[in-house]
Structure 1
Amino acid sequence: MTTIVQQIVSRDIEAVIIYESEQVIAFADHDPINYGHILICPKEPYESFIDLPALVHDEIQVVARDLYSRIVNKFNPDGISFIQNNGKCNELDHYHLHIFPRFDGDQFGWLSSDIGIQSIEVLRESLSGL
């Protein structure tokens, strides 16, 4: 089974491509948080962050840095967010890094679990041995 990203790479699915090289492609998210929401992906179907070869990872970071500046210049946002999901949270089954402009009042948010604010001691214990 080919991933959506592979279908974009092969031009079986139309996308607004912002960047493309031998190893990496970046394109507009079809369901954007805000205009300027871009996915940066390896062309090969690596599933998670840990699967990425170092050279591909490094190119994705260079592209993300460049797109950051371009998004700031184009949209003048209040901030920029990066999100990258793995495992069951990766709906595409293909590594992708979201980068998108943020604006006051855009209603994109972070919903924490019910564990609440933790003391330093609890956090230290929970991460011991990591």
Structure 2
Amino acid sequence: MDGCVFCQIISGEVPGHLVLETDDLVAFLDARPVFKGHVLLVPRTHLETLPDLPAGQRDGFLAAAQRLATAVKDALGAQGSFVAINNTVSQSVPHLHLHVVPRTKGDGLRGFFWPRTKYGDGEAAAYAERLRDALANG
């Protein structure tokens, strides 16, 4: 897609530090990492969000994410990783990308990047019902 920096990295128009390439996927270092070794996994085809990912690519996408989560531990000495996907909101580049961020106890990253909230009386059941209905009708 014209103007998509991830598509430009995939095509080689923009340099990127590639760490994994398959027929369907590319993974490269994030230019603005949370921690050094922060990797982005993207499909070669321009897709904007996770719901856009074709069913035939889901297993390969998740398998590559697993490989990357293992690699940040093995290669970088991380104790674990934070794996996340933003869909539209907080998605700085509108091309599906999965973050694999190396983590070590005491690294300063506290839980998620947003404040937590609590459900009021009966709210959790109501939210769960709304989601079940959407899943049943979707």
Shift of 1:107: 2.4
Query: In the alignment, residue 112 of structure 1 is paired with which amino acid?
Result: P
Which stretches of structure 1, 4 residues or more, deviate above 3 A after TM superposition? none
Query: Partners of 1:69 and 1:46 in 2: how far apart?
Result: 25
* 2:107 is equivalent to residue 106 of structure 1: yes
How large is the RMSD of aligned CA atoms in angstroms? 1.7
8 Å Cα contact 1:82-1:97 kept in structure 2: yes
Query: Partners of 1:117 and 1:77 in 2: how far apart?
Result: 32
Query: Partners of 1:17 and 1:55 in 2: how far apart?
Result: 23
Kindly report which structure 2 residues correspond to 1:107-126, keeping only aligned pairs within 5 A, or say none. Answer: 107-109=108-110, 110=112, 111-112=114-115, 116-118=117-119, 121-126=122-127
Q: Which runs of 5+ in 1 are unaligned?
A: none
Query: Partners of 2:80 and 2:119 in 1: how far apart?
Result: 27
SS at match of 1:87: coil
Shift of 1:29: 0.6
Shift of 1:104: 2.5
Cα deviation per residue 1:28-55 (whole Å; 9 max; x = unaligned)?
1111111221000001110010100122
Shift of 1:81: 0.5
8 Å Cα contact 2:69-2:80 kept in structure 1: no
Query: Partners of 1:86 and 1:16 in 2: how far apart?
Result: 24
* 2:77 is equivalent to residue 76 of structure 1: yes
Query: In the alignment, residue 65 of structure 2 is paired with which amino acid?
Result: A
8 Å Cα contact 2:30-2:38 kept in structure 1: yes
Worse overlay, 42-51 or 71-80: 71-80
Q: Which runs of 5+ in 2 are unaligned?
A: 132-138
* 2:88 is equivalent to residue 87 of structure 1: yes
Q: Which structure has the higher relative contact order (CA within 8 Å, separation 6+)?
A: 1
